[in-house]
């Protein structure tokens, strides 16, 4: 059995089933895992300022159903990216598939950007899983390093969306953003997200949602989230980091009342209209690499 056929983390949610249907090809299975991880991210609460199955957080133009439609529309494109990785395609080919995926997302959501960041990051990892499954790299190489090795330079040299919120925030505040993170092999996912996810599983072994909350807070506490910078400037980013760090310093999901504490942080983000969308993308990415790399 190849590495990308390991089981994904379980979840009790109706819309993110613990048992995934087998698909007709390894690349289809990669896409199924990717979509499942997007749904697990959605099915996580309290998640400061972000859309979930409980509420819409700091957003008025989208809800859980918007995200579900978007995730379903992306599955064939995640499969196409995995197939492109298996064929050894260059970044230019992956970029075209990614743009097509964005069009499908916008068509499914009525023009709302739900998953642009995930299309980029999780999409690259789907391509990496396809490449690893086709033995284009060592079978023991983590997916993040596959991305860095095969496409890292092309990611940095590729076109920049000058008018996107993330690009504006990067230019104004001098942060590196998602492109640099991807080119380096997604170190925030591997060094922050995955350890926090596994720490949460140990703390609350019978509640998979708790582990996802722990990982989400750990990511908010450390990354330069350009969505936070866009919405709240440097003051917003610093507030978000302090709030997440305070939750973790108090014990995170080790606290008996962790859900109430996390809800209070969530409400403080909503009151300030803060939304750590970059951290949400990294949470989905963390779930994906944890699922795919765990059994290698």
- The 3-state secondary structure of 6-52, one letter per residue: CCCCCCCCCCCCCCCCCCCCHHHHHHHHHHHHHHHHHCCCCCCCCCC
Residue-level length of the chain: 296
- Band of the pLDDT at 3, cuts 50, 70, 90? very low
pLDDT exceeds cutoff 90 at 10: no
Q: Tell me the average pLDDT across 177-194.
A: 94
Q: Tell me the average pLDDT across 45-54.
A: 98
At 49, list the tokens. Answer: 């300022």
76-119 tens-digit pLDDT: 999 999 999 999 999 999 999 999 999 999 999 999 999 999 99
- What pLDDT does residue 294 have? 80
- Band of the pLDDT at 1, cuts 50, 70, 90? very low
pLDDT exceeds cutoff 90 at 58: yes
Please state, rounded to an integer, the average pLDDT across all residues of the chain: 90
Q: Tell me the average pLDDT across 236-257.
A: 97
157-179 tens-digit pLDDT: 877 554 565 566 666 655 677 89
pLDDT exceeds cutoff 50 at 73: yes
- What pLDDT does residue 170 have? 60
- Band of the pLDDT at 15, cuts 50, 70, 90? very low
Domains of the chain by residue range: 21-293
Task: Name the residue among 185, 196, 199 with its Cα closest to residue 155.
Answer: 185
Which alpha helices (DSSP H) does the chain contain, by range? 26-42, 64-87, 91-109, 116-133, 143-157, 165-173, 177-183, 187-188, 194-203, 208-222, 226-249, 258-271, 277-293
- What pLDDT does residue 11 have? 33
CB atoms within 10 A of CB 64: 17
Please tell me the distance from the alpha carbon of residue 224 to that of residue 230, in angstroms, as a whole number: 11
Please tell me the distance from the alpha carbon of residue 170 to that of residue 294, in angstroms, as a whole number: 33
Distances (CA, A) of 120 to 183, 228, 276, 285: 12, 19, 17, 10
Is 244:220 a contact under the CB 8 Å cutoff?
yes
Contacts of 60 (CB under 8 A, 6+ apart): none
- What pLDDT does residue 203 have? 95
- What pLDDT does residue 159 have? 72
pLDDT exceeds cutoff 50 at 254: yes
**3-class state of residue 170 by DSSP:** helix
Please tell me the distance from the alpha carbon of residue 284 to that of residue 147, in angstroms, as a whole number: 16
């Amino acid at each position: 059995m190849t590495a990308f056929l390991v089981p994904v983390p379980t979840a009790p949610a109706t819309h993110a089933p613990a048992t995934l249907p087998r698909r007709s090809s390894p690349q289809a299975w990669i896409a199924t895992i990717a979509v499942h991880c997007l749904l697990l991210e959605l099915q996580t609460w309290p998640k400061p300022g972000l859309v979930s199955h409980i509420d819409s957080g700091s957003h008025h133009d989208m809800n859980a159903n918007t995200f579900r439609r978007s995730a379903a529309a992306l599955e064939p494109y995640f499969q196409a990216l995995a197939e492109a990785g298996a064929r050894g395609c260059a970044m230019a080919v992956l970029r075209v598939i990614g743009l097509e995926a964005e069009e499908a997302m916008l068509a499914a959501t009525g023009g709302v950007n739900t998953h642009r960041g995930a299309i980029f990051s999780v999409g690259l990892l789907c391509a990496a899983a396809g490449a690893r499954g086709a033995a284009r790299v060592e079978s023991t190489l983590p997916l993040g390093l596959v991305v860095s090795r095969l496409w890292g330079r092309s990611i940095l040299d590729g076109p920049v969306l000058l008018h996107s919120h993330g690009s504006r925030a990067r230019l104004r505040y001098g942060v590196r953003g998602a492109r640099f993170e991807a080119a380096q092999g997604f170190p925030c996912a591997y060094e922050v997200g995955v350890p926090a996810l596994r720490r949460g599983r140990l703390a609350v072994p019978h509640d998979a949602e708790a582990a996802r909350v722990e990982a989400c807070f750990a990511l908010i506490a450390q990354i330069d989230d350009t969505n936070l910078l866009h919405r709240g400037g440097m003051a917003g980013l610093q507030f978000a980091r302090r709030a997440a760090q305070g939750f973790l310093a108090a014990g995170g999901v080790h606290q008996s009342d962790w859900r109430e504490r996390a809800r209070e942080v969530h409400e403080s983000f909503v009151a300030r209209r803060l939304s750590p969308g970059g951290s949400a993308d990294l949470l989905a990415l963390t779930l994906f690499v944890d699922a795919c790399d765990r059994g290698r």
